[in-house]
Amino acid sequence: MSWAGFKKTVNRAGTTLLQKTGQIERTVDREFADEEAKYRIFEKECQALQKDAKAYWDAMRAMTSAQSRIAETVETFYGAADQSSEGAMAGHAYKRSVDDLDTSFNRELDGPYRTTVSEPLGKMCAYFPVVNEHITKRNKKLLDYDSARSKLRKLIDKPSEDPTKLPRAQQEHDECKEMFDMLNDQLIAELPQLLDLRVPYFDPSFEAMIRMQAKFAEEGYEKLSGVQRYFADNVRDDYAAGQLDAQVEGILQEMRELSICGGN
């Protein structure tokens, strides 16, 4: 921090302290406070949205890649016995379709997702630090203004010996006021605009997101359901009836009865 900056910081700390103790009165700007509150909500939501959007996308990717890994594992199991059974065929088909889903998802939807959701969100979120900087600056200038004003008041109440003091204080006051007003006016004028523009800004992203979700679901469903052809006819009903679970249980039992599982 530069020396000038340091001086300013110290002065402002003093002002804050005096304000806390009620020595210097604080400017209350309702209009700005309202706008800031709204902006804060927006900022928070936007950041959360960005996080969620990313999590959503990552989860989709994780889902497809987990599926393709599972498919690999299933193949190992079939590989242990014979390669040509019905189950092995189904396993193959499953692996193919899942791999297909994984790659096509990455290839086809990744770019569009980036342009339609991730980039606009990222861009908007990148604006926030700058806006915050403006707000901070405005708050600092407000402190300067408050302190200059209180100095001026004091001088008017108790005129000083030095006749140059008053005009100087006056000038300082005017200067601070101008700076503060400028920053404040800009924020008051532009924060609502920013908030207002969020609607047209995000509107297209929403639809794109829905369409991509729907596409993902549809493709996933179509690709997977193609594998059903390789299953035996009764599998679907068995699954629905919980028969498959019983089969699994039965086989596990059989395994346990193997002599090598005696563990002795």
Partner 1 sequence: MKGFGKALARTPFAVTSKIGMAKKSTDPEFDDYHRHFSALEQGAEKLIKDSKAFSDAVTSLFTAGAGFASRFSVILQPIAGEYDLIGKHPDAGHTIRNVAKYEAAMTEMRDLIGPELELIDTRIVGPAKELQAVMKTIRKSITKREHKLTDYDRFNNSLTKLRDKKDKSLSDEKNLFKLEQDFEIATNEYDYINNALKQDLPRFMMLATQFIDPLFNSFFYMQLNIFYLLLEKMQSFADESKYDISSVPGAQIAQEYEEKRTDAWNIIENLGIIKRIVSVSRLVQQTRAQNNQTMLGRAGSVATSSGSSSLRAAPPPSRSVSASYKKAPPPPPSLSSQGAAPPPYTPSSSGVAAASAAATKRAPPPPPALKPKPKPPAPQIKYVVALYDFAAQADGDLSFNAGDRIELVQKTESAEDWWTGRINGQQGVFPVNKCQQVSKAGLWIQPRSDSRPPNSSIPVLVPPPSPSLMALSLARMHPSMRIPCLSSTVITRRAMMSALRTGAINHPPLPNSPPLTIPAESTTMSADAAAPQTAAPPPPVPRAEKPRPKIRAAKAALTITPGAVQRLRNLLSGPTPQLIRIGVRNKGCAGLSYHLEYVEKPGKFDEVVSQDGVRVLIDSKALFSIIGSEMDWKEDPLSSKFVFKNPNIKDACGCGESFNVAS
Q: Does 163 bind partner 1 (CB under 8 A)?
A: yes
The angle that helices 30-80 and 119-157 make with each other, rounded to 10 degrees, is 150
Distances (CA, A) of 29 to 25, 26, 47, 110, 221: 13, 10, 27, 46, 56
Q: Does 31 bind partner 1 (CB under 8 A)?
A: no
Candidate list 12, 24, 102, 205; residue touching partner 1; CB under 8 A? 205
Q: Does 259 bind partner 1 (CB under 8 A)?
A: yes
Q: Write down the least CB distance from residue 29 to partner 1, Å.
A: 16
Whether the Cβ atoms of residue 103 and residue 142 lie closer than 8 Å to each other: no
* Other C-beta atoms lying within 10 Å of the C-beta of residue 118: 17
Candidate list 41, 122, 154, 241; residue touching partner 1; CB under 8 A? 41
Distances (CA, A) of 65 to 15, 55, 68, 210, 249: 58, 15, 5, 22, 28
Candidate list 26, 131, 139, 150; residue touching partner 1; CB under 8 A? 131
Candidate list 2, 30, 84, 229; residue touching partner 1; CB under 8 A? 2
Candidate list 31, 37, 122, 241; residue touching partner 1; CB under 8 A? 37
Q: Does 89 bind partner 1 (CB under 8 A)?
A: no
Whether the Cβ atoms of residue 230 and residue 77 lie closer than 8 Å to each other: no
Q: Write down the least CB distance from residue 234 to partner 1, Å.
A: 10
Q: Does 227 bind partner 1 (CB under 8 A)?
A: yes
Closer of 21 and 30 to partner 1 (Cβ): 30
92/81 Cα distance (integer angstroms): 14
Distances (CA, A) of 221 to 58, 95, 97, 214, 243: 19, 14, 10, 10, 23
Q: Does 1 bind partner 1 (CB under 8 A)?
A: no
Candidate list 24, 142, 143, 191; residue touching partner 1; CB under 8 A? 191
